[in-house]
Amino acid sequence: MLEHATKIRVRYGETDQMGYMYYGNYAEFFEVGRVEMLRSLGLTYSGMEASGIMMPVLELHSKYLKPALYDEEITVKVFMAKMPGVKIHFKYDLYNEKQELIHVAETLLVFINMKTNRPCLPPQDFIDKLKPFFE
Amino acid sequence: MLEHATKIRVRYGETDQMGYMYYGNYAEFFEVGRVEMLRSLGLTYSGMEASGIMMPVLELHSKYLKPALYDEEITVKVFMAKMPGVKIHFKYDLYNEKQELIHVAETLLVFINMKTNRPCLPPQDFIDKLKPFFE
Amino acid sequence: MLEHATKIRVRYGETDQMGYMYYGNYAEFFEVGRVEMLRSLGLTYSGMEASGIMMPVLELHSKYLKPALYDEEITVKVFMAKMPGVKIHFKYDLYNEKQELIHVAETLLVFINMKTNRPCLPPQDFIDKLKPFFE
Amino acid sequence: MLEHATKIRVRYGETDQMGYMYYGNYAEFFEVGRVEMLRSLGLTYSGMEASGIMMPVLELHSKYLKPALYDEEITVKVFMAKMPGVKIHFKYDLYNEKQELIHVAETLLVFINMKTNRPCLPPQDFIDKLKPFFE
């Protein structure tokens, strides 16, 4: 089980006239959360793309428990519960500054070989870095 | 059962460097789809807010079957399967220009009285306009 | 002198908690406006990219005269005052539903050969389609 | 003369299919830069709105010198050259990780009393905090 937390502050441009963070903008918070989880292991998503593998999203499931408000520093906790194969699953718990759980989400992504445009296994260094957490 | 279709063209700013529409930008397509469904009935979301009721999103579930590409005119089909109470459920099927189903999604929203900040029933004109479709 | 008008409705996700369209979101309106101007001539920006030429923006100048509000259908008038060379200049006048001028802007873009990553002249069909307007 | 620097990493969702940060997304970087400049003085924009004053943007001028690329940590330097009156002017210099100047911009904003919807002077604590820098 892998776990990582990143703090992201809600920008004015991410709010809507309801005074909440717009419901479509959470997806970027998840993206930043999982990219920072990978970076904490010494992996970068940009490096993966440079090596010819990209990771499009297949599924997104989101529950909006409380609004994220302008200028709040949101804690994005990311969880990887099992070793990825051709697909990789992330869970997210978002907390506001009062430590209230405001959002839970899951995403499923797939590794795609950019030359063949077909699903593939993650790069070897990716596997090597993740393996110790799932043994 | 209510059904409505809206066409929305993918903007350049909505793509990402993968050459796909970014996965967070579908949420705006759903928003436009449901707002245009309501408009087709003579209802506007801006009018609802002006009357003191807003509709934040509680849940979002998305499956990305094929990418939406730059400049494609996407058909957003929206479905309302049952008469809303304090909550309202929408389903979405997205088609590209080749009429391929590229995305399916569901959202659950809630009517909120902006004065009390509590869930409430939809406004009466909303109920009157929708009722004939669910009898 | 070339002139073209496109109507774009302000999405909820484009507003901010001030109740205005967020100031960064006008750039997409200009993009849609100039792309639709080109389409009206039988040219597509996607076709230009497919032929190996892209058009990044070099300069943007915007004056916000009145806010664009949620659900308003904004008229984006686009003007091309002279035949493009390696650079292309567009002006924009935006009007709200009351026909009030709410925004004026200008952008300067450059044609880039994607192989050499160097500025270049526009493709021949582009020149052919535009020439009649500047003679 | 006031000066402040903030680092912001380019998100995947902020890129476009050119592989550059989309030209409309710089506006959020300026927003974050000026908000963090104010925070460094003990002022928050959310506090200002809570006190009944908002700061819409009147003008934006941007020059795109080099692209901002995915995952780069951009340094946003913000400059305030003179004491604000009813209007406030900011300049921005953006640098990439190689310390190359990639973007220069300016924005003009106005203080608006949210009750009267008229321009107004900044709040007193705002004036008090800024004054020492312009004497």
Q: In CATH, what number is assigned to the domain containing residue C128?
A: 3.10.129.10
Task: Give the mean pLDDT of A2-7.
Answer: 97
Minimum-distance CB partner of A60 among B20, B23, B54: B23
- Tokens found for residue B96: 């590209």
- Percent of chain D exceeding pLDDT 70 equals 100
> What does the pLDDT read at residue A26?
98
> What does the pLDDT read at residue D32?
98
Minimum-distance CB partner of D16 among B12, B23, B24: B12
**How many CB atoms sit inside 10 A of residue C132's CB?**
9
Write down the mean pLDDT value for chain D.
97
Question: Could you tell me which chain B residue has the CA closest to the CA of A46?
Answer: B17
Euclidean distance between CA atoms A80 and A77, whole angstroms: 10
Tell me whether residue A38 is exposed, middle or buried, using C-beta atoms within 10 angstroms of its C-beta: 0 to 12, 13 to 18, 19 or more: buried
- In one-letter notation, the amino acid at residue B126 is F
Task: Give the mean pLDDT of C71-89.
Answer: 97
Question: Could you tell me which chain A residue has the CA closest to the CA of D45?
Answer: A71
The model's pLDDT over A75-86, given as tens digits with 9 standing for 90+, comes to: 999 999 999 999
- Tokens found for residue D123: 């709040």
Euclidean distance between CA atoms C133 and C4, whole angstroms: 12
What is the residue whose two structure tokens read 């007193």? D124
Domain count for chain D: 1
pTM: 0.97
**Separation in Å, CA of A44 to nearest CA in chain D:** 9
Write down the mean pLDDT value for chain A.
97
B64/A18 Cβ within 8 A: no
Angle, CA D117 vertex, CA D113 and CA D122 arms, to 5°: 20
B31, pLDDT greater than 90: yes
- In one-letter notation, the amino acid at residue A37 is M
> What does the pLDDT read at residue B135?
82
What is the residue whose two structure tokens read 């000066």? D3
ipTM over 0.85: yes
D71/A12 Cβ within 8 A: no
> What does the pLDDT read at residue C135?
82
Q: Give the domain extent around B13.
A: 2-131
Mutate which: C26, C71, C76, C97, vs B, most B CBs within 10 A: C71
Quick check: is D125 catalytic? no
What is the residue whose two structure tokens read 């408000």? A69
B64/A20 Cβ within 8 A: no
A64/B56 Cβ within 8 A: yes
